[in-house]
Amino acid sequence: MRRRDLRPGSVAAWALVGAGALLLVAPFWFTFVFATHGRAAIFNSPPPVWFGSALLTNIDLLTERLPFWRNLGMSVYVAVLTTALNLLLCALAGYAFAVYEFRFKKPLFAVVLGSMMLPSFLNMIPSFMVMDVLGWIDEPRALYVPAAASALGIFMMRQYIGSAIPKDLLDAARMDGCHELRIFWSVVLPLLGPALGTLGLITFIASWNNFMAPLVVMRSAEHYTLPLALRSMQSPNNTEWGALMAGSAIAMLPLLVAFFFSARRLVAGLTAGAVRG
């Protein structure tokens, strides 16, 4: 380290950052450690801080209590469909708001922004009533169709397209004879990589971790997503915490891998549209 980096202020700052990093990493570490220990070992004092040998036993307990692999597949299915629909529909809506002039454009965009400020629990009862009328209760479509487009996604796409896509490029495509959908698909969409990557990661994480929507509309254990399935394992006196930690560790792995490979794109996408309000 350079001499100027050894000043008391710098050392204190680095110590504070290190302590914060440890606090953030500790829950993940103990989840993976506890996944390899039984319930008795987890409640020892002090608790184990290194891996044990009970991982396969915990996974066996997990699959005895739950249709765990089916729940995992349901989570993947719902999260992937929700993400794909969000990317397509939010990109289309953001493109329309950024490029075209039409009647009630500003009021409609204000409604989109206003919906971001409403607590999500306010729409639980109306959403359940609509799903019941449609006959979608205990169906996966009750999870991914209502989440097919998000206000945050529309806002992100509108900001990014408005700041990163020059209108001269669109005019040149029109002069070459491209119709509007061809312009969007062949000209605009390939340029939306950072924004689509960011929105895709945010949407996938939100769908993967979604607990309230499955709780409201899902009835059979085979159709539970992972958060709801793992919650159903808990009971006042008979919770197999080792098995629950093993399930939680497996549920976290896709998110950690996705974030590891897309962290740089996430930062680029979040800051790309900041130059234009």
Contact between 59 and 243 under an 8 Å Cβ cutoff? The reply is yes
Assess whether pLDDT exceeds 50 at residue 15. Answer: yes
Is 61 contained in some domain? Answer: no
Q: Are 207 and 251 in contact (CB under 8 A)?
A: no
Averaged over 24-52, what is the pLDDT? 89
- Considering its fold, how many domains does the chain have in total? 1
* CATH number of the domain within which 197 lies: 1.10.3720.10
Q: Is the peptide bond before 46 cis (omega within 30 degrees of 0)?
A: yes
Look at residue 276 in the predicted model and tell me its pLDDT: 45
The pLDDT of residue 216 is above 70: yes
The whole domain housing 113 covers 66-232
Report the share of the chain in percent with pLDDT over 70: 92
In a domain, 27, yes or no: no
Confidence of residue 4 (pLDDT cuts 50, 70, 90): low
Q: Does residue 190 form part of some domain?
A: yes
pLDDT at 275 over 50: no
Model confidence over 84-132: pLDDT tens digits? Answer: 999 999 999 999 999 998 899 999 999 998 888 888 778 888 889 999 9
Say what the pTM is.
0.86
Is residue 6 assigned to a domain?
no
Confirm whether 131 is domain-assigned.
Answer: yes
What is the pLDDT of the chain when averaged over all its residues? 87
Q: Is residue 111 part of a domain?
A: yes
Q: Evaluate whether residue 205 is within a structural domain.
A: yes
Q: How many CB atoms lie within 10 A of CB 246?
A: 29
Check whether 225 has a pLDDT greater than 90: yes
Residue 142 included in any domain:
yes
pLDDT, tens digit (0-9, with 9 covering 90-100), for 151-172: 999 999 999 998 888 888 888 8
Catalogue the long-range contacts made by 197-200 (C-beta closer than 8 Å, 24 or more residues apart): 197/262, 197/265, 197/266, 197/269, 198/156, 198/265, 198/266, 198/268, 198/269, 198/270, 199/86, 199/87, 199/90, 199/152, 199/153, 199/156, 199/157, 199/269, 200/83, 200/86, 200/87
The CA distance from 41 to 125, in Å, is 42
Q: What is the band of 244 on the pLDDT scale with cuts at 50, 70, 90?
A: very high
